[in-house]
Structures are given as C-alpha cells and as structure tokens.
Structure 1
Amino acid sequence: MDTIVLKEDSVVLIDQTLLPERLEYVVCRDVESLAEAIVSLRVRGAPALGVAGAFGLALAAMNSKGAVRREVLSDLEAAYTRLKSTRPTAVNLFTCMKVVMDVARVSDDPRSAAVDAAKRVFEEDVSMNKRLEQVGAELFFDGDVVLTHCNAGSLATSGYGTALGVIKEAARQGKDVSVFAGETRPLLQGARLTSFEMVDAKIPVTVITDGMAGFAMKKRGVSKVIVGADRIALNGDTANKIGTYGLAILAKAHEIPFYVAAPTSTIDPDTPSGDDINIEFRSRGEIEFFNGRRIVPRGAEVLNPAFDVTPAEFITGIITERGVFYPPFDFGL
C-alpha cells in the first residue's frame, strides 16, 4: 500500500478522506491539485506532507515550459510559494521543500536537480522511519497495552510509520501488544485510519472516544502512550494533533510513560519552544457538521485548532532514528 508515489507526469496518493470505506488513489497532475489534496487532508501526517511538498516541486519542474534555467527556477519558486501556504504547523513540509529548492537554485539544470532531490527526500524518509521503528520497539514489551492518538502510521509517512511503526515493529518481533486508538475528533483520524492500519497488521485494536482516555488508563491497563509529532521545538515541546496535550497530562497523572515518535526532520532548529509554533486553525464546518448533518446550532461560536503543544515536562522520551532523547532534551542541532 503506497501512501504517495511520484510518477513521470503526476503525484499519486491515497485519498485518506475516504478510508476506511474505500481505498482509492488521487492523481495530481499539477501543483494546484496537490495543494488542494494537502489542504483537504487527502494526504496528511508530517513526514508524508514533507514528501508531498518535495514531490510537488518535482512535479512543477517536470511541468515547467521554461526553455532556460531562469524560467524553470521561476516556476519552481511559484510552486514553492503555493505549497508553503497550505498548512503552517507541520515543519517537514517546509524543511523537505527547502532541501529541494536549495539544490535546484545552485544547479545548472534545476529541472533534473529538483526531481532527483525529491526522490532522495522520499528515500531518506523511508530509511529514517525504518530505523525509528527499530529504536522504538526496544521500549515495548509483551503484554503492553498502548494508547495512541490521531494517525502516525504508514499513511502519515512515505510508507513506514512513526508511532504506529514502532507498534508494528514490536508486533513483528513477536511481542504481544494491543492498542487503544482515540477517535480523534473532529475528523476521526484515529477511528478511521489508525484502526484501519492496526486491523491490516492484525494487531488487536479498540477504538475509544477521546473523552474515554482517562477511563482506559485507569481501568483497562494502558501501560504506554505513544504519539507522532508535527513539529518539535528545540526544548522538546511538541505540536501534535489537538488532544495530545490532554493525553500527556492524563498519562502523567496515571504514571504512564508518554512517548513521542518522529524523525529528526520534525525537530525544528528555528523553533526554541512551543510558544513559537504556528498553530493551524481549520474551518468551523468540521465541527458544526457530522456526516452532513448540522450538530452545532447556528449562533454558537466554534473553535477548531488542528494542533496543540505538549510541554516537554510531560514527555518521557522522544523516539527518533538517532535514538531516544530524554529530558532535558538536547538534540545536538
């Protein structure tokens, strides 16, 4: 199951808004259609967004009608500007595109350089997440009951997961693990996507509403919490799907280890602390309506941040391809 693929004339990706009912692919033949796929969450997850951005620049290079270097670079800059405007919180989108642009800007052949650099971004994401899985699996044991939030699996990356990748690797090693998946309102990435991946991997999974997390910790033997990340500040503060902060507080109250799993590309050297992370706010319609039916009366205000920031003091460890970092967090960047 390929999450996102670069073809000769397009970027092909799983339409994650249709899961788990239908597994269908979206074919993006230009930058604008890819930008729409990012904004509408057809593709999502910080590592996957990084790859999508890189592939979007490759697509712009392949589609450029420029006959000379300057014209190709102009098309790349326009694509870079458009894709940067899609989602502000996931740092991988920006860092991966910057890698491609830095190479293209100094190349005599920016078209080929952008395509080659985008392919390397994809390959590096695969490599980092494979290693991350192995590092994280060492922290998990027979009988672990794991609570996770949102979706940080193969659907959120180039094809290997972060938080869910760790769980899958532990299971592949023969460890008996089971999962509680928080539904993750308002768009239900946990209920729709995480449970889909766990069922596919034949790992026992129980879906709970977000408000049931404390009950599961106290009454159902949760032994670890693991989540992904969209941006990690230099002090360890971590932005992830809305609701993660509350889970971290609950985990600390129940003395349950709380882990973040993310490649080092998600650590932002330009962000000193969580206070500096730009949080995306999404449309009120995501909360006002459910399955096409209005559930919030007209006249009521709606607040819809897509992410929150978990302070480093609530995080037991941050799992990366370079190892596990523990407080006080020093990433050496």
Structure 2
Amino acid sequence: MTAVPPGEPEAGPREGARRRFKTVQWIGDAAGGRLRMIDQTRLPTEFVEIDCEDVESVWWAIKRLSVRGAPAIGVAAAYGAVIGARSRGTADVATVREALRDAAARLATSRPTAVNLFWALDRMRRVADAETAETGGLLLDRLLAEARAIADEDRAMCRAIGRHGAELISKGDGILTHCNAGGLATADYGTALAVIFSAHEQGKSPRVFADETRPLLQGARLTAWELAGQGIDVTLICDSMAAQVMKEGRVQAVVVGADRIAANGDAANKIGTYGVAVLARHHGIPFYVAAPSSTFDLSLADGSGIPIEERDPSEVTEGFGRRTAPEGVGVYNPAFDVTPAGLISGIITERGVVSPVSEKAIRAALGGPPADP
C-alpha cells in the first residue's frame, strides 16, 4: 500500500485529480510483477494505491470496491488472471493453463453484474487455450501481453467514446450524470465522463450536475473529485434533487455509464439510474448511455436477464462507519437497476452513437449476427 508520495500535493478535490493517475496498472514483468490500483474507497480525502500479488487480494479489491466501474474491473481481472496463472510455477504449459482457469473461475465470483469482468476472463482463457508456447514462462508472458492489450484497447475506446459523445453537447449545456464513469472506472478517460472531458477540451464549457449516488456516494467522492480536478464546472446534488434541477431548466442532457447492456439496449447501471431516466423523459431531456462494445451482452435478449448484485445492508444502515438507521431494520440494497431501452435516447460507443436504440441497430453497430426473426 502506498500513500501520496513525498512532495506531492494532498489528494483534495482539485489537487489530487489534476495529477495524472493510473487507476489500474501492472508493475514489473510477468514472472515477478504485481497489480497496482488506486484504492477508491479512500477517495477523496486520501490517495492510496494498493499492490496485489495473489488472486485473493485481487478478488477482494473488486468485491470491496477498491476498484470499480465495469471496464476497470475487466482490466483488473485480466491482470489478476496473470497473477493466478503463475501461482503454481511455470514448469510447463499445462500447469500455467490449469492455474489460469482456476484463477479466472475464482475472480468471476467477485461481482455478478459487470459483464466486462466475464468478457476479460473469457478472453484470457481463450488465449491460454490457443497459445502454442513451448514453455510455461513464455505462455505467462503471452498472457500478460493480452492483459495489457485489454487495458490499451479500453483506453482507445474511451477516447473514441468521448469524441462521439461530445458531438451531442452544445456550448454551455448543463449535463447531469449519476455515479462515476470517469477515469477511475476505466483504464484511462472514462465513458460518461469522457463525453464531458472531450466537450470541455473543445471549449464547450459544460456545466455538470453530479448526483451524490447513494448509498456509497460515488458521485460525491469520485465524480466530483475527477471533474473539479480538471477545472470543469461541477455542482454536487443529492440524488433526490435531480427532478428539481431538471424542472428549473438547468439540465440539457443526461449522460451515464453502464455495467451491462442487453441486446435490445436495456442498460444496467448504478442504482438510481432508472429513476433519472424516467425524470429525463418527463422533462423532455435526452438520456444517453456511454459504454464500450465490451459492455454489451448480446446473449441476453433484454434486461430481465441481467443479474443484479445485492450488497451488504450495512452500506445503507452504517454508511462509512456511522449508524444512521435503527438496529434490526430491514434493508433492500440492490447495487444496480436496469433502464429500459425505450427511455434511452442513444448509446454512445467507440464506434459511434446508436440511435434510435434497438436490437437491430445495436447488432449493426457492433458487427454482431442478426437477431432471430
């Protein structure tokens, strides 16, 4: 674990974000390297990085939300698979393959909703099975190269999402976002926040309203930290204030991320997103989802098949260590909800904007097989 290096500014809401940070990175070579990640549970008051050198520490980092956001989870899982692949030594290819499979199986149990987790692990398994390396060490090197490729591709996809999404934003627009879909949720630039960053870089001066995003306050702790650090006009609001802000005409677009998108365009994102989409429709405000192609799950016809993670009740009753509810009260704590495709004005991907949102349009944009008649 490493805190802010000596001489660096404290990671306050502006100074910390202005520094270039790497949410997920690999340090060293395949045989002796380690996975380093920002511990997002400590933001915004502390900038702390954690090093993971075994599968269980990666599993816990994903489970406890030290790393979160679908693309970032996928990258972390890919690197975690490399760590697992070497856990029994590299004497031969078969040993590395078997260890990789076991590590991937374990990591897949960390969180159920973010499809990037399973996409990345499947990709690592396919590489292990197809690779013709003569030694276990060479196979391990190939696996690390694939994990790095996943991270590099995510960076490129985020930049492209930002470019396509910025075209939807006019100068001075008010943009509301929910949860965190920025650099902290990806390998680099974000998805929903990539749209805002790109618009800002183009001189469009967007004004952002960030929902605090209860119960874990990712909007307050993370989104506000990222945006303020880049000099972007950001105003933090409670989740329950979104309707009033829209009614007052302060919002011209809503842009959010996604953890899984079904074939028809139904999109799972942080709990509360569905309500924001309903409010946007009522007020005639376009509602956009920004996500890379790796977040689509074309095996699911619609959002009813998306697994919704339920988290510990203490996140609601004792958020951040202080009890705010009576002992013994019942709690329902789903981490995600699903916004129906009919409420989504467009899905911003690295390949362009899918609008109107339909299975036919999605499959055409992603190059997938046509839907069954």
TM superposition score category, shorter chain reference: over 0.9
Structure 1 residue 62: Cα displacement: 4.0
Letter in 2 for 1:20: P
Q: Is the 8 A contact 1:152 1:228 kept in 2?
A: yes
Letter in 2 for 1:291: F
- The corresponding residue for 2:195 is 166
- The corresponding residue for 1:331 is 362
Could you say what secondary structure the match of 1:297 adopts? coil
- The corresponding residue for 1:26 is 50
| Whole-angstrom distance in 1 between the partners of 2:335 and 2:357 | 27
- The corresponding residue for 1:275 is 304
- The corresponding residue for 1:3 is 23
- The corresponding residue for 2:286 is 257
Q: Is the 8 A contact 1:53 1:97 kept in 2?
A: yes
RMSD: 1.0
| Whole-angstrom distance in 1 between the partners of 2:250 and 2:146 | 46
Which of 43, 64, 77 lines up with 2:67 in the alignment? 43
| Whole-angstrom distance in 2 between the partners of 1:162 and 1:4 | 16
Which of 27, 31, 39 lines up with 1:15 in the alignment? 39
Q: Is the 8 A contact 1:60 1:75 kept in 2?
A: yes
Letter in 2 for 1:209: C
- The corresponding residue for 1:310 is 339
Which of 101, 104, 107 lines up with 2:125 in the alignment? 101
Structure 1 residue 69: Cα displacement: 1.3
Q: Which moved more, 1:111-120 or 1:36-45?
A: 111-120
Q: Is the 8 A contact 1:61 1:115 kept in 2?
A: no
- The corresponding residue for 1:135 is 164
Q: Is the 8 A contact 2:85 2:98 kept in 1?
A: no
Q: Is the 8 A contact 1:162 1:262 kept in 2?
A: yes
Q: Is the 8 A contact 2:178 2:210 kept in 1?
A: yes
Q: Is the 8 A contact 1:153 1:163 kept in 2?
A: yes
Describe how 1:113-152 pairs up with structure 2 within 5 A.
Answer: 113-152=142-181
Structure 1 residue 218: Cα displacement: 0.6
- In the alignment, structure 1 segments of 5+ residues that lack a partner are none
Letter in 2 for 1:199: A
| Whole-angstrom distance in 1 between the partners of 2:210 and 2:76 | 26
Structure 1 residue 74: Cα displacement: 1.2
| Whole-angstrom distance in 2 between the partners of 1:19 and 1:138 | 31
Length-normalised TM-score, structure 1: 0.98
Q: Which moved more, 1:100-109 or 1:160-169?
A: 100-109
Could you say what secondary structure the match of 2:161 adopts? helix
Letter in 2 for 1:71: T
Deviations 1:75-100 (A, max 9, x none): 10110011000000000011011111
Q: Is the 8 A contact 1:195 1:205 kept in 2?
A: yes
| Whole-angstrom distance in 2 between the partners of 1:118 and 1:78 | 17
| Whole-angstrom distance in 2 between the partners of 1:284 and 1:101 | 34
Length-normalised TM-score, structure 2: 0.88
Runs of 4+ displaced beyond 3 Å: none
| Whole-angstrom distance in 2 between the partners of 1:289 and 1:72 | 43
Aligned residues: 333
Deviations 1:276-325 (A, max 9, x none): 10000000010010332211112311000000000000000000000000
- The corresponding residue for 2:272 is 243
| Whole-angstrom distance in 1 between the partners of 2:319 and 2:352 | 41
Which of 246, 262, 270 lines up with 1:217 in the alignment? 246
| Whole-angstrom distance in 2 between the partners of 1:90 and 1:282 | 14
Structure 1 residue 220: Cα displacement: 4.8
Which of 106, 124, 133 lines up with 1:82 in the alignment? 106
| Whole-angstrom distance in 2 between the partners of 1:120 and 1:64 | 24
